[in-house]
Amino acid sequence: MKPSSFDYYRPDNLEEALAALAEHGSDGKVLAGGQSLVPMLNMRLSAPACLIDINGLTELNYLRWSEGWLHIGALTRQRVLELDPHVRQRFPLLAEALPWIGHVQTRNRGTVGGSVVHADPTAELPLCLQALAGVAVLTSAQGQREVPLDSFFLTYMTTDLGPDELLTEVKVPIPATHQGWAFVEFSQRRGDFALVDVACLLQTDHHGRMTDVRLLVGGVDGVPLPLAEAEQLLTGECWGASLQAELQQLVAASVEPEADVHGSAEYKRHLAGVMACRAVQQAYRRAQDRRGVACNT
Ligand SMILES: Cc1cc2nc3c(=O)[nH]c(=O)nc-3n(C[C@H](O)[C@H](O)[C@H](O)COP(=O)(O)OP(=O)(O)OC[C@H]3O[C@@H](n4cnc5c(N)ncnc54)[C@H](O)[C@@H]3O)c2cc1C
C-alpha cells in the first residue's frame, strides 16, 4: 500500500521544528528514523496531514556525559548507542539489549527517541531505559519538562508526549559500579519483535544478599511492567533453587498478557516467569563476579 498524501516539512533546527509542531499540533507527525512510522504510513495506520522530518536537527544527535548522567540526544541512532565503548562499559544492560532490536540495517536508521516515543510494549529500549531510571526530556515552544520513564509510558504505544512537544533527550543516571545486569528475550526468530523480554539490575552485599533490585518485563502489558512484588521478594535474599521456584510462580501470577497470533495468554505468562528467573540468575552472577564473591548458583 501507499501512504495517503501529506505535506512534508524539513526544519533545519530545533526552533523551526518546535514552531512547526506548535502550528500543526496533532495533524503533524514527527519523522525520525522512519523504521516504525513509514510502515505505519504505508499501511495507513497513521495518516498525518503533515510530516515534520527532524533528520536535519543535528543538535539532537549526541551522547554527553555530565554530573552522573548520560544524556542521549533523541536523534542518536540505535547503532551508535550500541557501538559506543563508554556506553558498553557503563551501561552493559543497554549493550546486551541493543543487538536484539531488529537488524543492523534498522538500527542504523532507527533512533533512540523514535523507539521511546513509539512505545511498543515489547521494545527493548523503552524497557531497559525505564529499568535504568531514565528520564524523558520533552521540549515545546513553551519550554521544557522532564518526565521519568516510569510515568512517561501510559499504555500501548501511547505516551505522555503532548502534540506540540518533541522528545529531545533521554537522560539516564550512571549506575553504581557493582551492579549486576541482564537482558533476556524470547522471540520467534532473531530480529523479530520480542514475545517477552526482561531487564534486571541488582546489587549484592558482602553476604551475597540482593539489594536495589529492579525487574521489568515487556510484552505482557501495554507498557514495560515493573514487577514490584518480585523485587520485594528478592530483596535481602541470596539466589537459589527455592527462591527461583517462588519467583517464577509470583511473576507468572502477576502478569495479565493478551493472547495474539504468537502465543496464548497462558504461554506468555509462563514465559514471563521463566525469563524473569533467567534474568535474575544472570544479573545475580554478574553482581557477585563484580564483587569478587563466590557465587553458589
Ligand atoms: C524490520 C524491522 C524490525 C524491527 N524490530 C524491532 C525490534 O525487534 N524491537 C524494537 O524495539 N523495534 C524494532 N523495530 C522498530 C525500530 O526499532 C524503530 O527504529 C523504532 O521503533 C522507531 O524509531 P525511528 O527513529 O525509526 O522512529 P520513527 O519511525 O521515525 O517514528 C516512530 C514514532 O515516534 C515519533 N517520534 C520519533 N522521534 C520523535 C521525537 N524525537 N519526538 C517526538 N516524536 C518522535 C514519530 O512521530 C512516530 O510516531 C523494527 C523495525 C523494522 C523495520
CB atoms within 10 A of CB 254: 18
Instruction: Evaluate: CB of 115 within 6 angstroms of ligand 1.
Output: yes
Question: Residue 40 and residue 31: Cα distance in Å, rounded?
Answer: 12
Instruction: CATH 3.30.390.50 in the chain: give the residue spans.
Output: 180-291
> Closest residue (by CA) to atom 19 of ligand 1?
110
- CB 41 less than 6 A from any atom of ligand 1: no
Return the CATH number of 61-173, one of 3.30.465.10, 1.10.260.40, 3.30.70.120, 3.60.40.10.
3.30.465.10
Domain with CATH 3.30.465.10 in the chain: 61-173
Answer yes or no: are the C-beta atoms of 235 and 273 closer than 8 Å. Answer: no
| Residue from 132, 59, 140, 120 nearest 94 by CA | 132
State mean pLDDT over 17-43: 96
Interval between CA 123 and ligand 1 midpoint (Å): 9
Question: What's the rounded mean pLDDT across residues 43-47?
Answer: 92
Across 174-229, the runs of DSSP E, i.e. the strands, are 180-186, 196-204, 210-218, 225-226
Which residue has a Cα nearest atom 49 of ligand 1?
A: 118
Give residue 118 CA to ligand 1 midpoint distance, Å.
6
- What is the CATH code for 7-53? 3.30.43.10
pLDDT band at 178 (very low <50, low <70, confident <90, very high): confident
Q: Cell numbers at residue 30, please?
A: 514527527
Q: For 266-278, what is each residue's pLDDT tens digit?
A: 999 999 999 999 9
Rounded CA-CA distance 111/35 in Å is: 9
In this model, does residue 175 exceed pLDDT 90? Answer: no
The pTM assigned to this predicted structure is 0.96
Distance 279 CA to ligand 1 centre (A): 25
Q: What is the pLDDT of residue 295?
A: 40
Minimum CA distance residue for ligand 1 atom 41 = 167
What residues are paired with 201 via a beta bridge?
Answer: 181, 214
From the CB of residue 160, how many other CB atoms can be counted at a distance below 10 Å? 16
Residues of the chain with CATH 3.30.43.10: 7-53
Domain 180-291 grouped into CATH 3.40.920.10: no
Element (H, E) at 88: helix 85-90
Confidence of residue 292 (pLDDT cuts 50, 70, 90): low
The ligand 1 atom nearest the CA atom of 74:
41
